Chain A
Amino acid sequence: MLVLRPVEITDLPQLQQLARDSLVGVTSLPDDSERLREKIAASCASFERDASAHGPENYFFVLEDMDNRRLVGCSEIVSTAGFDEPFYSLRNRHFTSASRELNIEHGVPALSLCHDLNDHTLLRGFHIDAALERTPFSELLSRARLLFIAAHSQRFAEAVITEIVGYSDADGNSPFWDALGKHFFDLPYVEAERLCGLQSRRFLAELMPQYPIYVPMLPLAAQECIGRIHPDGQEAFDILQREGFETNSYIDLFDAGPTLYARTANIRSITHSQTAQVHSQPQIDARGRYLLSNDALHGYRAIVAELDYQPGQPLALTPALCAALNVSEGSPIRLIAL
């Protein structure tokens, strides 16, 4: 059985392995034990903190195989993007110019450095074992975060964003980086991403171009990267798109990957999830597949299960399911059909 739960300090060694396996560009998983240790500590503190409004918390979850205690995935929620340091993006908007005499008006797309996306809640750090891609467990890993937000909405902002990793080739080269970032950073793409995960992001402000970049001046290969997703990021994109997330003309500074955006109140797993009370039962019918979570904070648990759910009725769970979710008779439970 795979269970999603908050990270613990004892997870560090396995987390480091996950970081090594993860996609270049998922910079929130640095392959550095000191940084990961800090990250775990910050997450644990967040789960303990009594928060009535969204602040500097980061909630880091892992997906654990209970049969062999192996971590097979992780994902994270940043309560407030840009809380400590600005959250930089490139805003892709048209600059309009017109000449009355020539009767020409046209919009030229340009990329402007900005931190418009500060203050949003940010989903990031999504990584799952290759063997589990495109299974209900990747839905679990991604969407359990949304059920958590539904359970603790005061800890989160009114809008949620995520950055999907942009295109890079098999050799780890990003045409967008080579056309733009490299001129300012003097570093290869992979190295820049690595630094981003380790350093304070202030260096981004020091190095990134401050003036807008006119898109037509970039080589075609770089232009084609704008909003383009890395193949390995497609699933993360698809899951959230089904949740109602949309692209919004903001892209990643380094690889031009798209930002997805949704108002918290409109996210499908948040609006359509339902709550019920647990009723423990030795056996249950498997009528449908559901994502289930308890509504706890630092005892948060989420799983995938085959259930027989009738709205308005208590939800029958086997003792094994109750144990996995750390709930008992009468506990509240949140669920949504897969």
Chain B
Amino acid sequence: MIVRPVKVSDLPALMTLVQQAGPGFTTLPANEDRLAHRVRWAQRAFAEQVERADADYLFVLEDDDQRVIGVSAMSGAVGLREPWYNYRVGLTVSSAPDLGIQRQIPTLFLNNELTGQSELCSLFLRHDQRTGSNGRLLSLGRLLFVAEFPHLFGERMIAELRGSADEQGCSPFWDSLGRHFFQMDFTHADHLSGLGNKSFIAELMPRQPLYTCLLTEQAQTAIGQAHPNTEPALKILQAEGFAHKGYIDIFDGGPVIEAPIRNIRTVRDSLELTLSLGTPDEQAPLWLIHNRRLENCRITVARGRRVGSSLVIDRLTAQRLQLQPGNSVRAVMLPNQQQQAVAA
């Protein structure tokens, strides 16, 4: 398996994938023109032909038979073209000490505070391929890319997780809040936002601070609550140091998780090592490995042994990375691996 930049020839496979993902996949709508546009734009980003504000790094996960089975992406920066909105969950205290009254009321403040930060997005892995380390490769491969090319990204990395919804796709947060201002269903609003960006819809959102006591109970519970389906992805990122700092999605109340890029585990702990060929056994830890290239980026997961400043991997892995012994790689062990004591 490798993670690599998307190519125009991936379009048919991509279309199949997004159709499988269903209507909730807002950033990759099942629309040929939109997909083609996105792929072209991503290629320009990998060719370093765009500014950070417009950079869209769209990766695919490809198996050894060149079948595309997953996608993941990052944007260089949000909100530098069209404004990027979130609600921040703050607090209002209503107090009259003389009367012994104090009320603490969580309050939502519409803001653009995450402007300029980089974003993880568009993550989808075919259901039948959700095995082994595929998920971690697809998700964390992006962060290893960031470790190699930090100048392409901002100070923080954010990720919006889908918020609570019932089986019919109804969002209690939307029904209690957004619906009153748009008079449309959540799925329609979601679809519209996937077509381009959220800004023109954000123009219609209420801009005044909102007292959460005026929302329904289910809507209040939905604030900062990730959809159960996002749990695997959430766990991977939490292990990397991502945390919820109070920002939520303006439509479904889902949490934004974030981390300073330099503190992300993969970024912080990755090492520049020299490739060496060998036969690491089944006890050897799993490494996430990047060939350190940009336009020809290739990232994989393989068993490896660190020996001094070398990383010993097998021939197949080197081939997947399109590298020779002696080439430089950037690598980090997958989390929860045993540290192997190695004699230099």
Contacts and interface: CB of A to CB of B under 8 A. Distances in A.
Given A108-B206, A184-B94, A102 B211 contact: no
Residues of A contacting B: mostly:
mixed
Given A99-B200, A102-B192, A214-B208, A185 B101 contact: yes
A162 B205 CA distance: 35
B204 A206 contact: no
A44 B307 CA distance: 98
B181 A97 contact: yes
Contacts of B205: 97
A1 interface: no
B96 A99 contact: no
Contact of B204 (A97, A195, A211): A97
A138 to B, nearest CB: 36
A216 interface: yes
- Chain A interface category by residue count: 20 to 34
B82 to A, nearest CB: 11
A210 B192 CA distance: 33
Contacts of A180: 214
B181 A108 contact: yes
B152 interface: no
B156 to A, nearest CB: 28
Contact of A217 (B105, B176, B200, B201): B176
- Chain B interface category by residue count: 20 to 34
Interface string A153-191: 000000000000000000000000001100111110000
B103 A186 contact: yes
A99 B101 contact: no
Given A99-B200, A185-B101, A214 B96 contact: no
Given A99-B200, A214-B208, A203 B96 contact: yes
B180 interface: yes
B105 A213 contact: no
Contacts of A211: 92, 107, 208-211
A104 B204 contact: yes
B99 interface: yes
B173 to A, nearest CB: 12
A184 B105 contact: yes
A280 B295 CA distance: 109
B177 interface: yes
Given A183-B213, A217-B214, A99 B208 contact: no
From A97, A199, A217, residue with most partner B Cβ within 10 Å: A217
Given A99-B204, A110-B208, A183-B105, A217 B177 contact: yes
Interface of A: 95, 97-102, 104, 106, 108, 110, 179-180, 183-187, 195, 199, 203, 206-214, 216-218
Given A99-B201, A214-B206, A216-B180, 7 more contacts: A98-B204, A100-B200, A101-B200, A102-B201, A104-B204, A185-B94, A217-B177
Interface of B: 92, 94-96, 98-99, 101, 103, 105, 107, 176-177, 180-182, 192, 200-201, 203-211, 213-215
19 contacts: A98-B203, A99-B201, A101-B200, A102-B201, A102-B204, A180-B214, A185-B103, A186-B101, A203-B98, A206-B96, A207-B96, A208-B94, A209-B94, A210-B92, A211-B210, A212-B208, A213-B211, A214-B214, A217-B210
9 closest residue pairs by CB, A with B: A216-B180, A183-B213, A101-B200, A203-B96, A211-B209, A184-B94, A206-B96, A99-B203, A99-B200
